[in-house]
Amino acid sequence: MPSVQDIIVLFQTAPALDSQVVAWARYEASKGTRIQDLVEEAAPPYNTAMEAMRDGWQVLQMSELKHRMPEDGYELGPLPYQTVLSRFNELQEEG
């Protein structure tokens, strides 16, 4: 079977690749095209993006620092930073 791209997104509150992961998502195309049953995970697959890199994940995107203005410097919204990582895995039959 061919290898296809899996993605994990690690969300952080600082952009550094060694900052703590506080939320995460898996888009594992090797397993299927949608998540039918989200199984709860008590802890992230990696504590930092650096740990994921040590496990063969390749960084596709890391975040830039944000410039803060008086009008929105205290506003809260989505989690501010994310690292997108990719790894190729063998294609499986979609369940």
Partner 1 sequence: MTEHLLNSKQMAQFVASGYLKFEDMIPKDLCQACRDEMPTFGGYMAVGSPLEETWPKNTPLGDAFRLPQVQGLIHSLIGPDPLYDHHAAHLVKGKQMKGPDAHQDSVIDFRENYFDIQLSFFPVDTTDEMGGTFLVPGTQYRNVRTGEIGLYQHMRGKIWATCPGGTMYVWNTRVWHGARSNHTDQDRYMFKLRLNPTRPQIRNFDTSDLDDPAIPGILNTNHGWEGNEHRYELMHRVKLWRYLSGQPDYDIGERFLRRIEYNPGQAAVA
Q: Which residues bind partner 1 (CB under 8 A)?
A: 9, 11-14, 19-20, 22-26, 34-38, 40-41, 43-44, 74-80
Q: Which is closer to partner 1, CB of 2 or CB of 78?
A: 78
Q: Work out how close the CB of 76 gets to partner 1 at its nearest, in angstroms, rounded to a whole number.
A: 5
Which tokens in the block code for residue 20?
């703590």
Chain CA centroid to CA 80, Å: 13
Helix (H) or strand (E) holding 25: strand 21-28
Q: Which is closer to partner 1, CB of 3 or CB of 23?
A: 23
Q: Which is closer to partner 1, CB of 1 or CB of 36?
A: 36
